[in-house]
Every structure is written in structure tokens, then in C-alpha cells.
Structure 1
Amino acid sequence: MTSPAYDEQPARTVLEDKIRQRRQTFEEFAEYAETFAHEHREPGTLSARHLQRLAAGRRADGRPIGPVRPATRRLLEHIFGCSVEELLGPSGRDDATPEVSGLPQQIHELSSAIAASQRVDDETVLLLRQQVDAIRHLDRRLGAITLLPQLREQASYVAGLLHHAIAPRMRRELAAVLADACTLAGWQSMDRGELAHAWRHYETATAAAREAGSPALESHALAEQAVTLLDIGHTRAAVDMTVHARALGDRAGPRLLRTWLAAAHGEALAAHRDASDSLRAYDDAGELLPAPTDHESPSPYIALDATHLARWRGHALSRFGHPDAIDVLTSALECHDQSFTRGETSLRVDLAHAHAISGHHDAAREHRAHARNLALTIGSVRQQRRLAQSNA
């Protein structure tokens, strides 16, 4: 990772100073700018390397950086609300003796960050968890299109608290929140078709889960990360990753998690065209599924019941062209909780595929049209892509 914008030297430009105030590295701000551009329909792009040149105010050889491209200019001005000329101007700090003049500011920034983290208590952690949960419940109804930027900001904020926390117990608590937030951000990014972002979120989630000392959170993040491998056609690697996730989760994970991991393994095997082992994994999941009256640890959050599991199994059956696929998926649709909009979209994509294979073209068109409308409503690029592939 690039060194933080807030390193040993004082800010050279207003742009660099503003990035420091956000407590972001150049890579983190470049990623934020990319998301901002996408959400606000800005055509400009900004790599971490180009951002470093702009923040320095000069090229590496000391020459002026030259004019900023119009699209990049508009993007930066949209983000910060001031002109590029102002952003690339000197920060206004006394740079005559940087090793002296920069030190008080560094001490102030670091002390403030540590002090903020020291104010975190159990109630604060609970509030942070509840914020992630609120986004999760909105996401399953409305999709990620408007929620993903908010979630990324939340994850960045929790990461800042974690990186400056000192007490080991509080570090573990914050790391668990970060793992949960980044796992959700990975899933949302994947649904939006942002696979590289999704991968990075899952990498952060697994690292945070390890710091939290939670094999359950780590296995959950790994199994979701495997879906990104499925989406790029690396099915063997996805199978291996879900095997590892199951091994982690089976050590001490709650029964519902182990059920979910078995089903995730079944999905990877289905994509790898291993029908017998896939259905065996779904059988394992069915045997592990706890009764609705069982109450287990809520970490990690998993929405899984007999209907969800049937939908998941039906997805595998539709991949194989199995004759039971339509009945299993139709039954799941009849019992489906309509608050899970993305789940219904995926289910109808699978039904469209299963009916098309069986020659039921009218039913296939009906489910495809319904799925397309839902996918457009929630902004699911992933489901739109699945529909396009099923039409090919």
C-alpha cells in the first residue's frame, strides 16, 4: 500500500492537506474517487500514482506537473467544492524547516486519532454494529446502488478507529465490526459488478477477522470471496477456498454458519460441474440446518432457513439441467420472503434458465422479464449479467 498522505513531511499542497484530513492513504482516496465518479456519473479517473503527483505539486524531477485533464479537474472540483488551482496551491504551512514545523502537526493528528479510539466503549461498538445491520437490512430490500458508498465510508471510519486503538479487547471488538462491514461491502460490490473492489473488501474482512480472533467471521468472508472467483470463471480455486472456509467454520462455528458454509461449498462444486459432490454438500447443509426455534450466536449475520436453502439447491439443479429444478425453485418462490429482493431476483433468473432448458419458453420469458425489472430496480449488475448470459 502507498504510504499515507499524512507522512513525516508537512503537506505540500492544499490537495494533500485535504486528503490528510480525511485520514486516507492515496490508494484509499483514489478508490473513493473512483466510486464517487461512478455514483455521480463523472467520466474522470484518478490513479494513486497520478494522485501522488498532483499532491506533490510537481513531477518527480521537479518540473511542473502541467495542466490537469478536464475530466480529472471536474472530478476533483466536484469532490472538494473548490478549484483545481486552489487544490494544487501551497498548503499555507511553513515549509522552511519541515522537520520542525511538521512535527507538532503530526503529534496533534496522531494524538487526536488515538484519543478518539480511546473513547470507544462497548456501547460505541454496539452502535457501530447496529449501523452495519441497518445498512444490511436496507440492502436486502433496496439493493446496493445507493448504500454502498455509505457502507464504505462506515468501514473506513471503523478501520481508522481500529488502527489507532490500543487496548487489545477493544481492538478485537472493532476488528469484528470491520470484518462484518467489509464482508457486506464485498457482497454489495460484487452485486454492483465491481469485482476488484469486492476482492479488496474481502481481503480486509479476512484480515480483520483474524485480528478479532474469529474463525467464524473469517470463514464467512472466505466463502463469500469464493463467489468472486466463480464470477470470473476460477471454479477450481473457488472450490478450494470453500473447503478451507468449511474447515475453519467447523472448528467452533455455530450450526447455522456450518449449514451456510456447506451450501456455499455446494454452489462452488455446482459451478465446477461436480454434480454428485455438489448435491452431497447440499445434503450436508440440510442435515445441519438448525430448527427455527434454536437460538445461536448472531455473529456472523446469516439469513438462512429451509426456503433459502431450497432456493440455493435449486440454483445448483438448474445449472445441471436437473428435472427437479423447476419444482424446487417454484416451491421456494412460493415461500420466499419478499423483503429479500436480490434473492427473488436470483431465484427468477434460475427459474427462467430452468424453464428455457425444459422448452417452457413462455414461462421462461415471464420469469426473465420479472427478474430484469427487479435487477434494474435494485441496480444489480450481477443479476443483469446472469440474464444476459442465459440469453446468449
Structure 2
Amino acid sequence: MTNGLRTARQTREWSQERLVREIERHARQHMLSVASTASLHVYVSEWENGRRTISERYARILRALLGVTDHELFGRAAPSEAPAEADGYGELVNRIDAARSVSLTMVETFMDQTELLRTVDRQMGASSLVDQMTGHLTTLEDALTFAVLPETRRPVARALAGAATLAAWQALDVGAVERAWRHYELGKHAAQEADEPMYLAHATAEQAYVLCDAGRPAIAVELVRNAQRVGGHRLSPRLRAWLYAAEAEIAAKAGLAEDCRRALERAVSCLPEGEEARDPDMLSIFLNHGHLARWRGNALALLGDDEAVSDLYTALDAVDPTFIRATAGLRCDLAQAHLARGEFDQAQDHLRQARLLANRTGSVRHRRRIEQITQEL
């Protein structure tokens, strides 16, 4: 209990005073009753030092503010709701019987729930979705664990693969890197069971970003290339283009300029024409030529190439206004590109706007990048 809250707070670079203010702000927005400011200062100190137990009422607020799970907050899993029967067989049979009743309609409901969580995440950020996503994954994992026959397991595994990959990206966004890694592993295993190479390739490629953020871009390049291989001929053209674009970005971070440019060329050659962005075979993939212009600009900015600015402004004009987190990233890219050209005023302006958007979504990942670019100014 002692270090979980402190670690989550420090990950966001919040002081204890800032955490108190955020608790009060959250309480006002949601019409919740909390202790006085002076008492909250005492509570936070005692929570972090293990002298006071965090009640469920405050745990719910802290999970939403910090984007953490019970395990990360308390150093333990949430308590189980009810003890198992003495011999265990009765409960096991009940769960197996319940899993047998999972129909395609229910699987579609699972997918719809993932889609709803993806939409909210895109517009509001990941930190407020921890409880919902944790419950969603638990439901899917239980359905898969107790499903017996392949015809029932495969569609559930497919739904779990998509949900786990989304949960992993959300965890990475709020700075919970170990949780992100474990969710990606869950998504990969589920995709393998479902015999869905597109889902496996997507989860593997996104997992490469964890390595990249951890300072291992060279290994990340190899992992994203492995994702392309595991997908093989069963990848859709849009997903294949997405994988090449991801390779280009990570290669740029690894300082592999030629590899980056070659991957960008392959992404352009694979991407279908037209304004349509969403892949009907892989609903988590949004990519058209406008999005690819942003990716190209980002990669070129990382290489210090002057061409980056025009590509990024093209992408900024085309970006969907509901993609709040993506817009924050785009502003970071523009700041990086202007910085490479020595245009410090423009870089600072884009950083200011990126910071506002990152604060709106609670993105720890973007805040870290903003601070890194700020230090270069």
C-alpha cells in the first residue's frame, strides 16, 4: 500500500498538494463528498506512508485520477466477492455451463463494449476508464477460461485479443508500463488461440512501443518486423501499411534513417486510396493518407528533416477533432519539427497546445514527451 499511491503520483509528476487539488476537483465534477483540504493533505501523507488504509470511496477516485488498478494502488488484487465452495466442483460446473451459453450475439456485445471504450478513450483519455476496462477484461477472460469447445473459445478469444490490446495501449498512455506489457502478452495469446494473425500482428507491433519508450528502439524495430512476418499474407492492406508506418517511426527513433524512409515508401505503396480511414477487418486501425502524412512528418521530424513541417501541417488540417490524444501527439511532432529548424517560438506554441490536450486526457506518455522537447528548447 505504501508505494503504490506514491509511485502513481510521482509518475505524473504531481506533488501531494496537486493530488489533493485533483481529488477536490474530481469530487466537485461528480458531486461527491470528500474531506476538507487540510484533512485530505493528512490522508494523502498517511496513505503513502501506510498509516491509513485507503477506503473504497477514495480508491475509486484515485483509480480514476491516476489511471491505476487496485493491484497497482494497493499492491494486491481486489478482494474476491465470495468464497468458493468447499470441493470447488459446483462452482466450476456452474461456470462451464455459463460459458457454454456464450453466443455469437454475446460476443458481438463484448466487441461493442470494446468499441465504446475505444471511443471514450480517444476523446477523454485512458485514466478515467481503468475500472470499466478492468471489468471488461475480467469478463472476457472468465468467458474464455471456462469455455470448453473450440467453436465457443475462438470468437471469445478474438474479442479478448482486441480488448486486451486496447487496454495495453491505455495502460501505456497512463504510464503503467508493466500492466501494458502484460496486457499485450494476453492479447497475443488470445489472438493465437483465435487463429487471428491480424490481431497477433497488431498486438506485437504495439508492444514494440513499450520497448521503444523504455530506451530499446533497436529491439523494438526487430519486434515490429516480426509482427509483419507473423501476419504474413493474411494481413489486410491497411494493416500492412500501418505496420510499415510503425516500423518507420521506431526506426527513426533508433537513428536508422534509410530503414525509416524505406518503410515509409512501403507504407504508401500498401495503403488503399480514398478518404476511408478505418479497416473493416481490424476496427482498431485508423489510417488514410492524411494519417500517414502525420506519421511521415513525425518520423522525418525525429530525423531532423526539413520536410517534416509541411507533412505535419497537412495532417493537422485533416485530423478528426474527436481524436484528442492523437492531436496532442501531432502538436508534439510539430514542436519537434520546428525545434529542428531552430524555430523556437513556433515550437513553444505547439508545446503549449500539446500540454493543454495532454492534461485534458491525462496522458503521462505525452507529458513525458512534452517535457523532453521542452528541455531541448
TM-score (norm 1): 0.75
Percentage of identical aligned residues? 35
Q: Counterpart of 1:213? A: 195
Q: How does 1:90-239 map to 2 (within 5 A)?
A: 102-103=86-87, 106-239=88-221
| Among candidates 279, 288, 310, match of residue 261 of structure 2 | 279
Q: How does 1:225-304 map to 2 (within 5 A)?
A: 225-292=207-274, 297-304=280-287
| Among candidates 306, 309, 322, match of residue 292 of structure 2 | 309
Question: For the Cα contact (< 8 Å) 1:254–1:297, is it kept in 2?
Answer: no
Residue 371 (structure 2) pairs with residue 388 (structure 1): yes
Q: Counterpart of 1:74? A: 53
Structure 1 residue 116: Cα displacement:
1.6
CA distance in 1 between counterparts of 2:341 and 2:159 reads 45
Give the letter for the 1:217 counterpart. Answer: Y
Output the aligned Cα RMSD.
2.8
CA distance in 2 between counterparts of 1:364 and 1:284 reads 30
- Helix, strand or coil at the partner of 1:233: coil
Q: Counterpart of 1:362? A: 345
- Helix, strand or coil at the partner of 2:86: helix
| Among candidates 296, 317, 323, match of residue 340 of structure 1 | 323
In structure 2, relative to structure 1, the CA distance for the partners of 1:92 and 1:386 (3 Å cut) is closer
- Helix, strand or coil at the partner of 1:134: helix
Question: For the Cα contact (< 8 Å) 2:279–2:286, is it kept in 1?
Answer: no
Structure 1 residue 296: Cα displacement:
5.9
What does the per-residue CA deviation read over 1:312-350, in whole Å, with 9 as the maximum and x for residues that have no partner? 111111111101111111111111111111111001011
- Helix, strand or coil at the partner of 2:300: helix
In structure 2, relative to structure 1, the CA distance for the partners of 1:77 and 1:137 (3 Å cut) is closer
Question: For the Cα contact (< 8 Å) 2:248–2:259, is it kept in 1?
Answer: yes
Q: Which moved more, 1:226-235 or 1:108-117?
A: 108-117
Give the letter for the 2:365 counterpart. Answer: R
CA distance in 2 between counterparts of 1:264 and 1:321 reads 18
- Aligned residue pairs: how many? 316
CA distance in 1 between counterparts of 2:153 and 2:94 reads 17
Question: For the Cα contact (< 8 Å) 2:188–2:200, is it kept in 1?
Answer: yes
Structure 1 residue 73: Cα displacement:
6.0
CA distance in 2 between counterparts of 1:231 and 1:357 reads 21
The structure whose Rg is larger is 1
Structure 1 residue 304: Cα displacement:
0.8
| Among candidates 300, 307, 311, match of residue 324 of structure 1 | 307
Q: Counterpart of 1:88? A: none
Q: How does 1:2-17 map to 2 (within 5 A)?
A: none
In structure 2, relative to structure 1, the CA distance for the partners of 1:263 and 1:72 (3 Å cut) is farther
Structure 1 residue 167: Cα displacement:
2.0
In structure 2, relative to structure 1, the CA distance for the partners of 1:72 and 1:167 (3 Å cut) is farther
Question: For the Cα contact (< 8 Å) 2:161–2:188, is it kept in 1?
Answer: yes
TM-score (norm 2): 0.78
Give the letter for the 2:194 counterpart. Answer: A
CA distance in 1 between counterparts of 2:82 and 2:283 reads 47
CA distance in 1 between counterparts of 2:303 and 2:86 reads 64
CA distance in 2 between counterparts of 1:301 and 1:228 reads 18
Question: For the Cα contact (< 8 Å) 1:139–1:147, is it kept in 2?
Answer: yes
Structure 1 residue 361: Cα displacement:
1.6
Give the letter for the 1:75 counterpart. Answer: I
Q: Counterpart of 1:24? A: none
Unaligned runs of 5+ in 1: 1-29, 43-67, 81-90
In structure 2, relative to structure 1, the CA distance for the partners of 1:321 and 1:167 (3 Å cut) is same
- Helix, strand or coil at the partner of 2:127: coil
Question: For the Cα contact (< 8 Å) 1:250–1:258, is it kept in 2?
Answer: no
What does the per-residue CA deviation read over 1:189-243, in whole Å, with 9 as the maximum and x for residues that have no partner? 1111111110010010001100001111000000000000000111111011011
Give the letter for the 1:71 counterpart. Answer: G
CA distance in 1 between counterparts of 2:318 and 2:216 reads 33
Question: For the Cα contact (< 8 Å) 1:249–1:261, is it kept in 2?
Answer: no
Structure 1 residue 371: Cα displacement:
0.3
CA distance in 2 between counterparts of 1:376 and 1:138 reads 16
